[in-house]
Amino acid sequence: MVRTQAMSFGLPLLPGERVLWAGMRGQPTRLPGGAMGCRVAYAYMLLIGFGTLCLVPMIAIRQTRIPALVGIAAIAAAAFAYRRYSQRPAIFVTDRRVMERTIFGVSGVSIEEIRGYHRRIDKYRDRYGNVTEVATNIVVLVAQHGGVRSIGPVVDYDELTGLLDGLISRDIDPSKMRGIEGASPAAAEKREDLFVAVRNRTDGDAYGPLIIGPRGLVRFTERLPIGLEGQLLTTLAQPEAPEDLEARVVFLSRRPDAGHALLLDLSTAELGMDSTSLRVKTPERTLMIQLDDADAMRARRFLQARR
């Protein structure tokens, strides 16, 4: 998943709309026997051969040298522009829409209009008449009124569809999630009876969400899939007692896709702040958790309230 400043996306966002996820366009080679790789290599060979046959003689002739050089420069500029275009995020999920940017502009589908999705299956027929079905990374969104809209291909197919699963089932409330530009914290990060920091580090390594409740500390040791992160933040934004939310976080930490998590009983630990780092001292060791400036300020207030 790409976590870039939202302003660099150049998206036509509505007032108050936030980008929650951004992904690259692309698809792994899926045709059997390396067929796609052979086709791409064949296309490159044709392009190079055609260019050599056409442009080299033109360069050798004085009268056509300048047009040939202009043509070469135009082709190189087009190839460079396409390469830059292909390396930019192209698929986006905001708190209101699923959006796609193509060379023809930006279009989107309202989340409220999506009732399902499926993976597009392409069929390829060889010269002997045999048909091969190939799963693509193109997501076909099915609207409430029955229409369909294709998105992608997207490299992080599972990441995107995991988020869509939560949005369609209403297990994820997009308004409760954190904007990837960092300027719009999640609703759970604004609570005063719990401390939640989606982004944190130790020794420069990025970790998953950190949650401190009245009885314990939970820290996911790796970045969560966006779907699970959305479900976690939606859960923590519920108007429930912090003890109940703490138990639900522990339950989510046991899911297979949550990876590993640190669970710590605060009755055996001492919490403090050193500059912008949270100090977690136990009888066995002292753990330093580096926080963003805004999260560090909230952590200080939270720890003062605990005392």
pLDDT at residue 68, as a whole number: 67
pLDDT digits (tens, 9 = 90+) for 52-73: 666 666 666 666 667 767 776 7
How confident is the prediction for the chain on average, in pLDDT? 82
Q: What is the distance between the alpha carbons of residues 155 and 40, in angstroms, rounded to a whole number?
A: 19
Q: What is the distance between the alpha carbons of residues 94 and 174, in angstroms, rounded to a whole number?
A: 8
User: Coil, strand or helix: which one is 170?
Assistant: coil
Closest to 25 in 3D by CA, of 107, 115, 138: 138
User: For residue 46, is pLDDT > 60?
Assistant: yes
262's enclosing H/E stretch is strand 261-265
Q: What is the distance between the alpha carbons of residues 3 and 155, in angstroms, rounded to a whole number?
A: 14
Q: What is the distance between the alpha carbons of residues 90 and 163, in angstroms, rounded to a whole number?
A: 16
Place of tokens 């949005």: 167
The pLDDT confidence band at residue 230, using thresholds 50, 70 and 90, is very high
pLDDT digits (tens, 9 = 90+) for 106-155: 888 899 999 999 998 888 777 787 888 888 888 999 988 878 888 888 88
**Sign of the alpha-carbon torsion through 114, 119, 122, 123:** negative
Distances, alpha carbon 112 to alpha carbons 141, 169, 177, in Å? 12, 11, 16
pLDDT digits (tens, 9 = 90+) for 193-213: 899 998 899 988 889 999 998
Q: Where are the domains of the chain?
A: 1-178, 187-306
User: Are the beta carbons of 186 and 214 closer than 8 angstroms?
Assistant: no
In eight-state DSSP terms, residue 216 is: E
Q: What is the distance between the alpha carbons of residues 22 and 11, in angstroms, rounded to a whole number?
A: 11
Sequence-distant (≥ 6) Cβ neighbours of residue 33 within 8 angstroms: none
Distances, alpha carbon 216 to alpha carbons 8, 194, 197, 221, in Å? 39, 10, 15, 16
State phi, psi for 237 to the nearest 5 degrees.
-90, -5
User: For residue 3, is pLDDT > 70?
Assistant: no
Does the structural domain 187-306 have CATH classification 2.30.29? yes
User: For residue 233, is pLDDT > 90?
Assistant: yes
